[in-house]
Amino acid sequence: MKKLILAAAIAATTAGSASAATIYEGKGLTYKLKGDFQIQLRKDVGKDQNLNVDFDDLELKNSVIYDLGNDMKAFGQLDFGYKNAANGKDKESSSQLEEAYVGMQFGNVSVSVGQQNFAVDSFGVDEQLEDELKEDRFDATATDGNDVVRVDVNMDNFTLILSTELEADGEKSADGKGYDLFVSTSVAGVELGAAYQTFDEDPSTSGDVDVWGVSAMYDAGFAEFGVDYSKSDDGTVEASQYNVITIIPVAATTDLGLGLTKVEEDGQDDVSEWYVNVVYKFPTQKNVSVFAEIADTDEDGVKMGYLAGMRLKF
């Protein structure tokens, strides 16, 4: 689930956000631990799907920040995910490395190197809890890598993120190459975003995929409305996708979300997916929530999917 958030926790140094538990703080060092545990009873959209227990998020995020003075900081991030092991997908290991990077912050600018998300991972307004279709054309191409150099610029009303996945040809870490950027700002209460990416999954055999997208989000008070559009072109096949969402705060503790996604791809039938979800956050503990969702696509023979679950964060 993604949502465009202006100048928020998308810079590398914000990994230890306000919801994280501060384990140690002193002598210019801050160590924070952040967790995200989410387990669902889930029946996927599709044919002959069965109800199962799904471990969506089981993450522990370690953040280390050193204050170097003169508005400079050094930081490192080490994140582990356990959902593949819990779902039985990884029999060899009990955990999976998700992010591992170090960097420097200079005022509003940070530079980081390592395994982390691309700039375009911040794109989009999709609010579906479990997507049958990809969130957008960037998500269908690539949104993270392990040879990433990334620059974040976070101003009061402007965010710019640049990243590159190094080709690393001949190295064990090689998993494609590419460049991408994401920008966002707010104009007259409307949050605007734009992104661009060129990515080659296998430089030795394949060609570049060019992807671009634009998005807008508006909070009218009684509801939030969002739309995004993205398009990919690999030189042979073009695909476009749009998302439309509405989020209605039906109570101080409860949000109702409605959304529609449509994908159009050369040589394929158009596919649309709709969803409705509700999220309740306990008033005494906002990081504890329960949720439910129903979803379906217009593909032939596909049956509606549904889920219900609980999430705990710190």
Does 13 score more than 50 pLDDT? no
For the domain covering 12-313, report its CATH number: 2.40.160.10
**Per-residue model confidence as pLDDT tens digits over 37-74:** 999 999 999 888 899 999 988 999 999 999 999 999 99
Amino acid at position 24, single letter: Y
Mean pLDDT highest for which of 21-25, 161-165, 170-174?
161-165
154 band by pLDDT with thresholds 50, 70 and 90: very high
Mean pLDDT over all residues of the chain?
Answer: 91
pLDDT recorded at residue 203: 73
Query: pLDDT > 70: what percent of the chain?
Result: 91
pLDDT recorded at residue 90: 64
Does 200 score more than 90 pLDDT? yes
Measured between alpha carbons, how far is 252 from 124 in angstroms, rounded to an integer?
Answer: 25
For the four alpha carbons of 63, 66, 69 and 72, in that order, the dihedral sign comes to: negative
Least confidently predicted of 15-24, 114-123, 179-188, 283-292: 15-24
Alpha helix positions (H), the chain: 83-86, 137-141
Does 94 score more than 80 pLDDT? no
Two structure tokens written together for 174: 């090689």
Measured between alpha carbons, how far is 59 from 312 in angstroms, rounded to an integer?
Answer: 11
Cα separation values, 224 from 31, 48, 82, 213, 290, Å: 35, 35, 33, 20, 21
Q: What does the radius of gyration of the chain's CA atoms come to, in whole angstroms?
A: 20
Does 96 score more than 70 pLDDT? yes
Maximal CA-CA distance, the chain: 62
Mean pLDDT highest for which of 75-84, 172-181, 202-211?
75-84
Average pLDDT over residues 86-102: 80
pLDDT recorded at residue 170: 75
189 band by pLDDT with thresholds 50, 70 and 90: very high
3 band by pLDDT with thresholds 50, 70 and 90: very low
**Per-residue model confidence as pLDDT tens digits over 263-291:** 999 999 999 999 999 999 999 999 999 99
Are 181 and 165 contacting, i.e. CB atoms less than 8 angstroms apart? no
pLDDT recorded at residue 173: 76
Average pLDDT over residues 201-207: 77
pLDDT recorded at residue 15: 40
- Tell me if residue 138 falls in helix, strand or coil: helix
Does 12 score more than 90 pLDDT? no
Cα separation values, 136 from 20, 111, 256, 313, Å: 29, 26, 22, 26
Query: pLDDT > 90: what percent of the chain?
Result: 81
**Per-residue model confidence as pLDDT tens digits over 26-36:** 999 999 999 99
pLDDT recorded at residue 9: 41
pLDDT recorded at residue 91: 58
pLDDT recorded at residue 84: 87
Measured between alpha carbons, how far is 32 from 46 in angstroms, rounded to an integer?
Answer: 40
Measured between alpha carbons, how far is 200 from 124 in angstroms, rounded to an integer?
Answer: 22
pLDDT recorded at residue 284: 97
